Amino acid sequence: MRKITMLVLLLLLAWTGMTAQPFALVYQGYQFYKTTCGNPMFEEGDTITISAGIPEMYGKKLSHWEFDGNQYKPSDTFIMPAKDVVLVPVWESGTAVENIQDTNSGSYKLLENGVLYIINNGVKYNGLGERVQ
């Protein structure tokens, strides 16, 4: 009986080692982005084409996607590692500033790097009304 149990355990271990485990590929913050095959699950060694879609952040452009210190541009190929992958968007450097609204009172709203500020008589305030300049 003990030999049969050991044989069954060895066969189970061999069988589980033969089945490939799927790993996920996710675009951080962009659930709508798909790989070329439309499947988010891959096996180690699969060749994947990074989505050709280019996400936008108000006032900024995508520089590249990043994973494990490597950079990937849209439409680059990627070899799936033996782990889940989260591709992080990296935006072009530089300050994105836009004057949203100018009023006659000397106050206006300013969007800077995705943060909304109020400018009142030349003084910058955050959304809590605290002076930041």
In a domain, 39, yes or no: yes
Instruction: Please check whether residues 29 and 53 belong to one and the same domain.
Output: yes
- Secondary structure (3-state) at 102: strand
Determine the average pLDDT of the residues in 92-101: 56
In a domain, 15, yes or no: no
What is the reported pLDDT for 133? 64
- Is residue 66 one of the residues assigned to a domain? yes
Three-state DSSP class for residue 70 = strand
Please give the average per-residue pLDDT across 15-40, as a whole number: 68
Specify the pTM.
Answer: 0.54
Between the CA atoms of 40, 51, 61 and 101, what dihedral angle is there, to the nearest 10 degrees? -60
DSSP state of 40: S
**What is the reported pLDDT for 41?**
86
* 22 DSSP assignment: P
pLDDT at 44: 93
Predicted confidence at residue 101, as pLDDT, reads 54
Is 83 inside any structural domain? yes
CA nearest 49: which of 24, 80, 23, 28?
80
Number of domains in the chain: 2
pLDDT of 26 strictly over 80 = yes
Average pLDDT over the chain, rounded to an integer: 74
> Are 66 and 112 part of one and the same domain?
no
Q: Could you tell me if residue 81 is inside a domain? A: yes
Whether residues 28 and 86 fall in one domain? yes
Residues 6+ apart with CB under 8 A from 43: 20, 21, 22, 23, 80
| Angle (nearest 5°) at CA 123 between 120 and 125 | 80
Higher pLDDT, 107 or 34: 107
pLDDT of residue 9 exceeding 90, the answer is: no
Domain assignment of residue 57, yes or no:
yes
Q: Domain range spanning residue 64?
A: 21-91
- Interval 36-95: pLDDT, tens: 556 678 999 999 888 887 777 666 778 889 999 999 998 999 999 999 988 888 888 654
Residues 87, 103 within the same domain: no
Q: Are residues 74 and 25 in the same domain?
A: yes
Determine the pLDDT at residue 73: 92
Residues 78 and 113 in one domain: no
